Amino acid sequence: MHSPRKTNSTSATMRLPHLQPFAKTPLYFLTACMAQRRSLLACTEAHDSLREIWSKSAEHDGWFVGRYVLMPDHVHLFAVPSSDAKRRDEWLKSWKSVSSRRLAKFLSVEPPIWQADTFDHLLRSAESYSEKWDYVRANPVRRGLVAKADEWPWQGEIHSLQY
């Protein structure tokens, strides 16, 4: 790290050094909610459909999905873009669009399926990743849906994301 430099100005202004990005490949924690918070996701059709879409997104969109948990009305997932990935907002729009058509058909529901916005958080450390995963994994337990996190069937990992 560089120390602050003195400029040639008479006021002796101090400049902070330019910081390098903390990670070349960012790891995102994402949460997407169902429109009207409808309970549509805790089922085999939604789980299988999203797994298939996310499994193909590395090849199609340059995004690798790691661990995820489907709750009845929202999904939490971790994802990493490749160097030539679609922009995050384009990728989110893409998988939400494909899954919307499938879920509308499988579950006989009317659009919109997803809320337009998605919460995203850029993780800054392996500790942050571990803490977020522990929190997400415990969601079904906190909601009283299962006694232990391992019992929740609508979770998994597509790609192993190392931080």
Smallest Cα–Cα separation from 94: which of 118, 127, 125? 118
Residue 13, domain member (yes or no):
no
Length of the chain counted residue by residue: 163
Can you give the pLDDT of all 163 residues of the chain as single tens digits?
444 444 444 555 666 654 444 556 799 999 999 999 999 999 999 999 999 999 999 999 999 999 999 999 999 999 999 999 999 999 999 999 999 999 999 999 999 999 999 999 999 888 889 999 999 999 999 999 999 999 999 999 999 998 7
Please tell me the pTM assigned to this model.
Answer: 0.83
Residue 34, domain member (yes or no):
yes
Residue 11, domain member (yes or no):
no
Residue 14, domain member (yes or no):
no
Residue 32, domain member (yes or no):
yes
- The boundaries of the domain holding residue 82 are 27-157
Residue 19, domain member (yes or no):
no
Total number of domains constituting the chain: 1
